[in-house]
Structure formats: C-alpha cells, structure tokens
Structure 1
C-alpha cells in the first residue's frame, strides 16, 4: 500500500509539474554557490514557458544516463521561433559543449527535463550516501524490513 501510494504521488507530480522527473538531487559541485551537492531540486517543465538566459535547467544528453543541472548562459533564436541554448555550471570555467553529444553545440527544448523552481538544501544527501556506499543502502533496507516484520499492530 505504501509503495502504490508513493507511485501515485510521483505520477501525480509528473502530471502537475509537466516534468518527467519533478524532483532531482544535485550530484556535483558544478553549480556552487547556487546549489550544493545533495540539494533537492523541485522542477517544472511547462512547454509554453520560454527558456531564458539565467534560468537553471536540468537536461539530459544523448549517451548519458544522469541528468545535468546547469544554468542557461546564451539563447540562440532561429526563424519560426525555434530556440536553442547553451548551458554552463556556475562553478565551471567553460560552457557545456564538451558534455553534449559529439557534434552538438546547442541544447533544444526537447533536451530539458525541467527548470528549477525551488530547493531543499542537503536533503538529497541520503540518496548520494546510498549510491556511494551500497553496504549502507543494504543495511538500511535490512533495518526497515526487520522493523516491518517485527512491528506488531496494537
């Protein structure tokens, strides 16, 4: 019941926010001082909203599984309203062209998972710790499983 409730909440957030992943964890220090490793970001991705320079976007690049959180630094408008943009981490020296797939110099709207609308500092550190230390993850799952099995209803 808990799992199905969590799934329903997650799917509801996807519909409300328009983002395939409405909540993400910042995994690196590339956006410091704006966001730190472990910050939990809340995203929206409404297709009617134009992307503007200065916005923080989460995007996926072909060939990479993990989305990237960086700031839009340049907008390139083509005819017929087609917009392409360039991103860069606040703490990085160079733009993200080296991260994009080979031959790609700009991102498009289809690459965007969402735009940062809010955050909770360091709440995502639990996720990072569980990924960095798999034994901790298994120990936590074992404790939770034991609790469920041994807990008696009153």
Structure 2
C-alpha cells in the first residue's frame, strides 16, 4: 500500500481507501466491476470516475458527483480532459498518468490562493482495472474547502 492511511485527513477518504484495499486482487488494483459507483454511494457526491481510453491514454470524465459539479460550477461528465480549461489539464492529467503508472492509490492535499479566496482540497485517486488487467478507470474523491482570505495574508 503506497498511501499511509494515517496521513489521510478526511474520514471519508480513509473509508474509501479501506474499501478499495479490501477489493484488491492480490497486489493488483480492484476491477471496475468490484468498485462501481453503487459501491461508493455514500461518497459519490464528492467523487468522479475517469475512463482511461487507448494506449496513449485519453481521459474522459464518465461520472461527476453533485458536490464537485457545484464547486466547479459545471457538470463535465462525458467531457475529455483535453477539452477542459488549461488549469484543470495542467494539474489533473499528470496525476492520472501517475496513478496509471503506479497502479496504486495516490493521495495529496493541495492549496491554491486566488484573489480573495483560499481553496484547499484533499484528493484520493484509486486505479481500477479492466478485464485485460490494465488500468481502465480512475476513481477520484475530492473534498474541497474554500474560505475567504483574511486581510494581510
């Protein structure tokens, strides 16, 4: 396991990591059929499922949770990452490529300062394999926190 559960702040992400680990097939990631949206229903509002298409992967947002739609201000289900704004492509595409290469969970906490706002989010990325054993999808859980900047910071 490459993600130490004690470093994961959000209990929802620890629960998802535990569920993903329990459904692994030996050292391999779980199959898509063993980790479907129905299996993670309590967390789905903060999740997205990204299909990995082709040998030179192109990424398509298959399903996006309602809380993420609210935060991002749009539903990008059925859109490819190369159709997304530059900022999304810059940060998301390398992360998807990393989780595919590692074939293991990845976790991180990120902070952005934009004008009068500070956005912090914790993200867990979980690869899922297809029948051929290759990573076919990435389940991503994102828990953002957005707050106003205080004067002088």
Q: Does the TM-score normalized on the shorter chain lie above 0.5?
A: no
Q: Give TM class, smaller chain.
A: under 0.3
Structure-1-length-normalised TM-score: 0.24
Structure-2-length-normalised TM-score: 0.24
Larger Rg belongs to: 1
